[in-house]
Chain A
Amino acid sequence: MRLFASMLVVALAGCAAPAVDAERGRLLLRQYGCGTCHRIPGVAAAVGEVGPPLQGVARRAYLAGVLPNTPQNMASWIRSPRTHDPRTLMPDMQVSEEQARDMVAYLYRLR
């Protein structure tokens, strides 16, 4: 009974917000052209040399040298870089909250 209840809770939570999907995040990183500036393992043609490589970004302590690296901060950075560093050259790519969450889920696999 308790098991059923907890399964129900999980199922309902699933309905409220779509599950975070790292694989979708990987495809989104390609779709948004992140690879034109960054090297990203596992993302097709992501061999850019403009910004830093994202290999091991999950373990990096700071994002863009200005933000402590947490999943929330990374999503916020991806969605609106200039909010966090007005001088950054990284553009605002109009990434939705949900998409940013998926991208972060993928990037956090890069340890």
Chain B
Amino acid sequence: MRVLLGAMVVAAAAAVAAFWFGAYNVAATAEHFAITHWLLDRGMLRSVKQRARSIAVPSLGDPAQIRRGVALFREHCVQCHGAPGIAPAAFALGMTPPPANLVYTAREWQPQEIFWMIKNGARMTGMPAWQFRLSDEEIWAVVAFARELPALSPQTYRELKGEDTGVRTEVAVATADADRGRIAINQYACTTCHSIPGVVGPDAPVGPPLAGIAKRAVLAGILPNTPENMVRWLRAPQDVSPLSAMPNLGVSARDARDIAAYLATLK
């Protein structure tokens, strides 16, 4: 019993020392052990399969849908993943893990799994979530095109005509959703500049902390703090404060309203 306790204390001390002295190499050039890579990869796959199981797959493969998928793929995906005969961009080649070759993914993954991955992204892989940038319809168009990838020669891929024929329509939702706003806060990278209670982030004080923002009388030193003004400020900071360092992040009306609803809970 005493030996076991001693061993646990030594192990805990070793873990703390490894943490404190930076023993773990975070460099993107430091590769995982084969077993670590296998575990992470399989773990991710299991997780995606589990969560994608209940997603209903719409009909895929209509030519217009594929053309739309091609256009979106070229705008958002090829930079990291490459395409038949097309290398990923320089920045993507430096990533660890390297972005997957989607020809293989398209052969092995179910459509609902590809949809889930595009929509939700995957932490610590570099894969972003697209649900705050693309509608479900658009994501399905990308899935429809991704399924064609294994059958495309480099030449056919180059000759494909992409066309984004779909019309972006914002989803009209009656009431603001603070929980969704909290997720949107991460998806617009607000935490890279502001510390925000309830949202885990780097706590880098580039701008002011947002604890107590609901009680603050003035926004950006300029606007009375009302829900409408918060939405206005979030969507177009330079319209309010032309000199502001806060960038316009292209926040949609719905997302801004949900973010404002969350911030209104920070009393």
Contact = CB atoms under 8 A, between A and B. Distances in A.
Interface residues of B, number: 23
B252 to A, nearest CB: 22
A50 interface: yes
Q: Chain B contact residues: over half helix, strand or loop, or mixed?
A: loop
B220 interface: yes
Contacts of A55: 209
B241 to A, nearest CB: 6
B207 A62 contact: yes
Interface of A: 49-53, 55-56, 59-62, 64-66, 81, 84-85, 87-90
A71 to B, nearest CB: 16
5 contacts: A60-B206, A66-B244, A81-B221, A85-B221, A85-B243
Q: Chain A contact residues: over half helix, strand or loop, or mixed?
A: loop
B208 A90 contact: no
A53 B220 contact: no
A60 B207 contact: yes
B208 A60 contact: yes
Contacts of A50: 216-218
Contacts of B246: 65
Contacts of B241: 65-66, 85, 87
Interface of B: 193, 204-209, 211-212, 215-218, 220-222, 240-246
B205 A56 contact: yes
Given A65-B221, A85-B243, A49 B205 contact: no
A62 B208 CA distance: 8
Contact of B222 (A49, A56, A59, A89): A89
Given A56-B205, A65-B207, A88 B221 contact: yes
Contacts of A89: 218, 221-222
B205 A61 contact: yes
A33 to B, nearest CB: 15
A87 to B, nearest CB: 5
Contacts of B205: 56, 59-61
B193 to A, nearest CB: 8
